[in-house]
C-alpha cells in the first residue's frame, strides 16, 4: 500500500477515534456509516483516493423523474461534484469519486465520508425501489 495512503488511513482512524483501520489485501477499507450506508476507500496510488458508496439496486422500471434526477447529479455544477452516480456491472447504483490526497487530512476525510453516506441515503430515498413492482416486471 502506498505510504501516503497508510498515513491518511492512520490519520482517519485517529479522527474517528479508533485504534486502526486495517486495509484488505488490495489496500481498501470499508466503513459502515449510520444504519444503512457503506463507504469504501481505496488508495489507488500516492496521489489519488477512490471513494465508493453502494446505494441501492437500480429499479427495473425506473420512472422518468427518477432517471432525470439521478443523471443531473452528474452534471458539472452538481451539488455532489466531484462524485458521480453510476451503476456497477450487477445493476447497482453507486456513488463514486476520485480525490487528490495532497493536503487531505483524516478530519476532512471523515467529514467527506459522512457527506457521501448522507448523499447515498438521499439517493436511496429518491429512487425508493419498490421491490414488489420490480418483481412483477
Dist. CA 48–CA 8, nearest whole Å: 11
Could you give the domains of the chain?
A: 3-136 (3.30.1460.10)
Asked if residues 115 and 58 have their Cβ atoms less than 8 Å apart, the reply is no
Asked if residues 118 and 35 have their Cβ atoms less than 8 Å apart, the reply is no
Weakly modelled stretches of the chain, pLDDT under 70? 129-137
Name every residue whose Cβ is closer than 8 Å to that of residue 48 and which is 6 or more positions away in sequence.
Answer: 98, 99, 100, 101
DSSP one-letter string for 50-117: EEEEEEEEPPSS--HHHHHHHHHTTSTT-TTTT-EEEE-TTSEEEEEEEEE-TT--HHHHHHHHHHHH
For position 129, what pLDDT does the model report?
57
Dist. CA 42–CA 45, nearest whole Å: 9
Asked if residues 124 and 56 have their Cβ atoms less than 8 Å apart, the reply is yes
For position 137, what pLDDT does the model report?
47
Report residue 103 as a C-alpha cell. Answer: 493536503
For position 53, what pLDDT does the model report?
97
Prediction pTM value: 0.87
Amino acid at each position: 500500500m502506498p505510504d501516503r495512503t497508510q498515513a491518511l488511513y492512520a490519520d482517519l482512524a485517529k479522527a474517528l477515534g479508533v485504534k486502526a483501520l486495517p486495509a484488505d489485501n488490495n489496500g481498501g477499507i470499508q466503513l459502515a456509516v449510520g444504519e444503512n450506508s457503506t463507504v469504501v476507500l481505496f488508495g489507488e496510488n500516492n496521489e489519488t483516493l477512490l471513494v465508493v458508496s453502494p446505494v441501492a439496486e437500480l429499479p427495473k422500471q425506473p420512472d422518468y423523474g427518477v432517471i432525470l434526477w439521478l443523471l443531473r447529479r452528474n452534471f458539472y455544477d452538481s451539488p455532489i461534484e466531484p462524485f458521480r452516480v453510476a451503476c456497477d456491472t450487477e445493476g447497482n447504483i453507486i456513488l463514486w469519486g476520485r480525490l487528490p490526497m495532497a493536503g487531505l487530512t483524516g478530519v476532512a476525510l471523515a467529514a467527506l465520508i459522512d457527506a457521501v453516506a448522507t448523499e447515498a441515503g438521499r439517493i436511496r430515498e429518491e429512487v425508493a425501489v419498490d421491490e414488489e413492482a420490480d418483481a412483477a416486471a
